[in-house]
Structure 1
Amino acid sequence: MPAYDFTRRTRRQSDPDVVVVGAGAAGLAAARALTGHGLTVQVLETTGRIGGRMATREVDGFRLDHGSHLLNTAFPELRRRLDLDRLDLRPLAPGVLVHSGGRRYRAGDPQLTTARQAATRTPFGSPLDKARLGSWLSRLAATPASRLLARPETTAARALTERGLPARTVDGVLRPLLGALLSDPALGTSSRVADLVLRSYARGRLCLPAGGIAAVPAQLAAALPAGTVRLGVRVTSIAADGVETANHGRIGAQAVVIATDAPSAAELMPGLRLPAFHPVTTYYHAADRTPMNEPVLLLEGDRTGSGPPLVSHSLVLSELHPSYAPAGQALIATTVLGRRGFDSGGAAGLEPAVRARLAELYGTSTTGWEFLSVRHVPDAVPAMPPPHNFRRPVRVLAGLYVCGDHRDTSSVQGALVSGRRAADAVLRDLGLPVAGREAEVAA
């Protein structure tokens, strides 16, 4: 579409060039790209903090991340938009531990040679089966994303059964791993998304910032001009030439970018596609001593009945970096997936059952563990069933744009890419040059 003629709009001298609604990762990425081209931007955030779902809070000296966020060093946009050295990323131990039949087994380490993977002692297949898994992950890591996107699309669950891998390997390793990475225990996610997720897993390292997941939006915001982000400003309606706010009047602009979560975006823009969501519940426990001497992702590999297991995965965050817990204490974060509602007592009412299962997973008594907090987010992760559009339009019309992980992929990678795509659309409509090439698709 031709660029819109913005010169006829009447704006106050104090009005910014662009208003971005929402100070999550997507909104901050969009603002950073726009200010980098000399535009004035106001990021309006209704709450008292930045980051959206990427939040960290301190509780009695423990650092609690909201949700089960995990970054991956293979995310292309993460490397392009952030200073990873300054972010102080701390990698998880290679591979995962899968609890199955009362024991824990190391599996899925793409850094091991195929021969060493074949030699590992696990019940997830013969040595040949484990060698095939290692070879398959290596080939996936080397496959261009464009080729993965050209594959026939089905659900991740169905694709796993059609890839020629043994059922013991699929059910013992890949299903619990993908369920944890996608927050989708039923694996109804697009097989193309699942392939990209496993590709990133095989190419990079799962990690978290030493200062908690909130360090990501904090670094994005720190690169913005002073005064760009305004907290406690609730936008009530939007137009292509500005926004109305609850207590701060009208703010005019040449363009408006909606960078909220999907439900909030749909409220501001009726008719906008609203995806389904995967719920995520995270339990935090403190212990006098660590139940695991390394920061490894512990997966639940036993399945009973037709529903998801009680616990999806657990991680000793204080082994990732000691600042996650006070001296002499350990912090354990445990994720439960697939539970949208709870019986009486809410999410906290399930904690005794979670704690009991953790005793089995870690092979230690959890009686003395302290229950610190639980964070239940029913709309945590936008679902990506087939067919999935990896590049949903960010330009609604000239002057009005929308971005967020619900427009690309449900990850930090997707949020950052979506914010940059929205900024690029604004720049094109304003007749300004857009630098760089289209980012590689990743999930």
Structure 2
Amino acid sequence: MSPARDVVDVLVVGAGVAGLACAWDLLAAGTDTLVVEAGDGVGGRMRSDLVEGFVVDRGFQVFNTSYPQVRRRLSLRRLGLRPFTPGVLVHSSSGRLRFGDPTRRPGTLPELLSGRLAGPRDLLALGALSARDVLAPPRRLTSAADTTTRTALARAGFSDAFVERFFRPFLSGVFLEDELETSSRVFHLVWRSMLRGTLCLPGGGIGAVPRALAGALPPGTVHLETPVRQLTDDGAVTADGRELAARAVVVATGPGPLATLLPGVGVPAYRVVTTYFHVAPRSPLGEPTLLVDTRRRFLNTCVLSDVVRGYAPPGHALVATSVLGSDAEGREREVRGALAEAYGTATDAWDLLAVRTVPDALPAMAPPQALNRRTRVAPGRFVCGDHRATGSVQGAMASGARAAREVLADLRSRPRGTTGQGASSPRSRS
């Protein structure tokens, strides 16, 4: 970091998608902005590693093309997106059931009408719910009375059997909780986004998304391996004692660093998820489709190399399976047994390539859920991230965008030579 960059208008701490979106908007408004990141790469939880020739994301993640913030900031074509099948496979005691979207795949209509997955009552309720969520203005969804998702599904007319057969196992993997206790407002927004967009994976792994965001910033904006030890009246101090003076500081980190830097700012509980990556000699499925389990022994599983061929070297298949909670001794063997049943094939010879536990995978979003909270927490101090909006890429970016707007308003209200805390002025640039 050159001495000339020691004094900036805004310091953004954290180079996840929230912090990068915030920096993107601040720079577009002509504000001198610096992003510092403790890790060796951008993305936060959205990272991809190369392990023995396989692409291993930090947990199973998907990319939704319908998010407004995504479409505003990224070239979808350049990400090399590969789609999942529109729908899911449900492993149940009566065999494998396909829940497809007949508006995109008409061939799935006979299976949907067969009654194996849903009866006439549930199909009518599903059509009404989907039509409302797709066509209604988002404001109507966000201003509706907030309940749990389970209550909202019951009020929509779904039978308990269909909720247990489809919604509960599917949404467990979306919200990382298996009691359907997530805010109904969040559920309706997520359901809307799934119906209006396409779930995909970038050709280079999920980490391609934050890399694209960072690549759009001017060179030298993001500084990696620069952890911040504490905030000061003048800005911040890094772990190696370097002082970074700034008129405003935006903390865009995970809950752990946030609690250290701004201990008075509360954050919700976070969901923990563990993903097992197995290597098989061939795909046990042969299609880019998500598979869920009515017994909820796992959240979901899919053959990543069926979605993006480059996730695995030639002659191999990469299977990702997620479960709630942390990795525990003996749990992988139980998961392997459930996969053998779900995929209908022996899994004893599958190699365990990697295990990724994400302790802060998703914020808990119980009702009533504020969908976009203010980011200013003190004079010159701002916080952004999915915990201040919704647990999604859209929520993280929207929070970053809101932080940028509130920072700009704050800077305009203060004389140029003052810091956010009203203490001494930042040092002049040399």
- Matching residue of 1:129: 122
Mapped pair 1:324 → 2:324: no
2:36 maps to 1:36 = no
1:415 counterpart letter in structure 2: A
Aligned residue in 1 for 2:381: 400
Give the 3 Å change call, closer, same or farther, for CA 197–336 of structure 1 in structure 2: same
Matched, 1:78 2:65: no
CA distance 1:206–1:115, change in 2 (3 Å)? closer
- Structure 2 residue corresponding to 1:50, chosen from 33, 36, 42: 42
Maintained 8 Å contact 1:151/1:192:
yes
Matched letter for residue 244 of structure 1 = V
Q: How do residues 274-289 of structure 1 correspond to structure 2 at under 5 angstroms? A: 274-289=267-282
Cα distance, 1:335 vs structure 2: 0.7
Matched residue type, 1:364: T
The counterpart of 1:24, out of the listed 16, 38, 42, is 16
What is the TM-score normalised by the length of structure 2?
0.90
Q: How far 1:133 moved relative to its partner?
A: 1.9
- For 1:294, the equivalent position in structure 2 comes to 287
CA distance in 2, matches of 1:115, 1:321: 23
Do the aligned partners of residues 341 and 287 (structure 1) sit closer, same or farther apart at CA in structure 2, a change above 3 Å counting? closer
- Asked whether 1:97 is paired with 2:89, we answer yes
Cα RMSD over matched residues?
A: 2.1
Q: Would the aligned equivalents of 2:98 and 2:112 in 1 still touch at CA under 8 Å? A: no
1:353 aligns with 2:334: yes
Asked whether the 8 Å contact 2:47–2:58 carries over to 1, the reply is yes
Distance 1:80 1:45 in 2: 24
Output the CA distance in 2 between the equivalents of 1:287 and 1:295.
Answer: 15
Structure 1 position 115, deviation (Å): 10
SS of residue in 2 equivalent to 1:157: helix
Q: Which runs of 4+ in 1 moved over 6 A?
A: none
Whichever residue aligns with residue 225 of structure 1, its letter is P
Q: Following TM superposition, by how much is the alpha carbon of 1:129 offset from its aligned partner in structure 2, in angstroms?
A: 3.2
Q: How much has 1:30 moved relative to structure 2?
A: 0.9
**2:4 and 2:200 mapped to 1: Cα distance?**
45
> TM-score by structure 1 length?
0.88
**How far 1:259 moved relative to its partner?**
0.5
Equivalent AA in structure 1 for residue 242 of structure 2:
G
1:187-266 alignment to 2 at 5 Å? Answer: 187-239=180-232, 241-266=234-259
Q: Which residue of 1 aligns with 2:98?
A: 106
Deviates more, 1:38-47 or 1:12-21: 12-21
Deviation at 1:114, TM superposition (A): 12
**Cα distance, 1:119–1:175 mapped onto 2, change above 3 Å:** closer
Report the CA distance between 1:369 and its aligned residue.
Answer: 0.9
Partner Cα separation in structure 2 for residue 240 and residue 411 of structure 1: 32
Corresponding position of 1:384:
365
- Shift of the alpha carbon at 1:315? 1.0
Structure 2 CA distance for partners of 1:320 and 1:13, relative to 1, 3 Å: closer
Q: Which of 56, 70, 83 in structure 2 is aligned with 1:64?
A: 56
After superposition, the C-alpha distances for 1:11-66 in whole angstroms (9 at most, x for unaligned) are: 97741221110111111111111111222221111121211100100111110001
Residue 195 of structure 1, CA deviation: 1.3
Which residue in 2 is equivalent to 1:362? 343
How far apart in 2 are the matches of 1:417 and 1:351? 36
Amino acid paired to 2:209: V
Q: What letter is aligned with 1:66?
A: R
Secondary structure at the counterpart of residue 30 of structure 1 = helix
Q: Is the 8 A contact 1:82 1:220 kept in 2?
A: yes
Change (3 A) 1:212 1:19: same
Tell whether 2:328 aligns with 1:335: no
SS in 1 for 2:373: coil
Between the aligned partners of 2:288 and 2:80, the Cα distance in structure 1 is 15
> C-alpha displacement at 1:111, in angstroms?
2.5
How far off is 1:323 after superposition? 0.5
SS for the counterpart of 1:275 is coil
* Pick aligned residue for 1:179 from 172, 184, 189: 172
One-letter code aligned to 1:63:
V
- How many residues align structurally? 410
> Following the alignment from structure 1 to structure 2, what is the Cα–Cα distance between the partners of residues 207 and 90?
5
Alpha-carbon contact 1:110-1:137 (below 8 Å) kept: no
Q: How far did 1:322 drift? A: 0.8
Look up the match of 2:411.
Answer: 430
Structure 1 position 148 matched with structure 2 position 135: no
User: In the alignment, residue 412 of structure 1 is paired with which amino acid?
Assistant: V
Identity %: 46
In structure 1, what is the equivalent of residue 416 of structure 2? Answer: none
Q: Are the equivalent residues in 1 in contact too, given 2:282–2:316 (CA < 8 A)?
A: yes
- Amino acid in structure 2 at the alignment position of 1:404: G
Please name the residue that 1:3 is paired with: none
Q: Distance in 2 between matches of 1:65 and 1:33?
A: 27
Contact 1:118–1:128 (CA<8 Å) still a contact in 2?
A: no
In the alignment, residue 221 of structure 2 is paired with which amino acid? T
- What CA distance in whole angstroms lies between the structure 2 residues aligned with 1:248 and 1:28? 24
Deviates more, 1:350-359 or 1:137-146: 137-146
CA contact (8 A) 2:121 2:157 kept: no
1:315 is aligned to 302
- Alpha carbons of structure 1 residues 118 and 130: separation in structure 2 relative to 1, 3 Å: farther
For 1:402, the aligned partner's letter is V
* 1:17 aligned counterpart, secondary structure: strand
Summarize the Cα distance change of 1:110–1:274 in structure 2 as closer, same or farther, 3 Å threshold. farther
Structure 1: gaps (5+ residues):
1-10, 303-308, 433-443
